[in-house]
Amino acid sequence: MMKHAPDSSALAARLAPALFVVIWATGFVVARLVAPHAEPLTFLSLRFLCTVALLAGVALLAGARWPAGWRGWRDALVAGILMQGLYLDGVFWAVSRGLPAGIAALVTSLQPLLTAMVAGPLLGERVSGRRWLGIGLGFLGAGLVLAPKLGAAADAIPLSALGVCIAATVAITLGTLWQKRTAAAVDLRTNAAVQFLGAALMTLPLALLLEEGRFDASPPALAGLAWSVLGLSVGGILILLWLIRRGAVAGVAALFYLVPPVSAAMAFGLFGEVLGPVQVLGMIVAAAGVAVASRG
């Protein structure tokens, strides 16, 4: 009986990274599913508000501790604006303005490199040579997966959309570091609720200003919204926050390299997108990179 809790904790630590990658990879599937049925910022506003309501209700029923004082609320709001608001708004807006999804995925896969570069100066976190090797392998693998999709669209990349996507990648990188630095002892449920409140407070005014509020409430739109709230925003974010708390941010960030390969596999299964030999090789290289970067 005494070993039950440690064994459960060890099992969760082993399963959480793989579960996070699978959940996070479904974001590309959801984006493709709902694109014909809803405007991006309108959809994200609904997603954020529903998530706030759900997480706040769970936290209240559980008697969870809310952030203490103005500083606690500020820290969570800033993390939410960076990790959810600016990141998702930027990526969805860039794709809606013509940036190919494959190029957007490749740009966002730069996050582990950015995280490793700034983790030392901002957190005092030493990035070992082994971890740098894993990060490099992961980036190479992600590039191999996406390379076959980049050639045809390379001449038509809208620079403004590309710039916004790069800014979104910088935002989630800074948000991850901010979360690691400020939220070591907070309750993850209430912290996530406040984070999504910050994302909603930023996104809703933009949706009202820039869009017409189109959301047709069709089965695909409702299914995409339900999974975005329950799977991505609640499940995925809570797992990500838990991983950040337990591990070095450079190692956690390396998991994002697995998202493009897993998304490609999902697209093959759901939409019939064919995976070539180069893409299969890329999946293997990306997986090896994450294993090297996350070890220990």
Question: 258 pLDDT exceeds 80?
Answer: no
pTM for the predicted model, two decimal places: 0.77
C-alpha span between 89 and 109 (Å, rounded): 17
125, two tokens: 């976190």
- Helices 159-182 and 101-108: crossing angle, nearest 10°? 40
Per-residue model confidence (pLDDT) at position 1:
45
The per-residue pLDDT of the chain, averaged, comes to: 81
Task: Give 90-121 pLDDT, tens digit per residue.
Answer: 988 887 777 766 667 777 777 777 777 776 66
DSSP reduced 3-state for 38 = strand
Task: Tell me phi and psi for residue 187, to 5 degrees.
Answer: -75, 125
Percent of the chain with pLDDT strictly greater than 70: 81
For the stretch 40-81, pLDDT in tens is 999 999 999 999 999 999 899 989 899 888 988 999 999 999
**Dist CA 145 CA 36 (whole Å):** 26
Q: What is the pLDDT of residues 199-219, one digit of tens each?
A: 999 999 999 999 999 999 999
Measured CA to CA in angstroms, residue 186 lies from 27, 49, 119, 241, 253 at distances of 26, 21, 21, 10, 21
The answer to whether 10 and 193 are in contact (CB under 8 A) is no
Alpha carbon 34 to its chain's center: 18
Q: Minimal CA–CA distance to 213: which of 91, 72, 43, 69?
A: 43
pLDDT digits (tens, 9 = 90+) for 152-210: 544 456 778 888 988 998 999 899 888 877 866 778 889 889 999 999 999 999 999 99
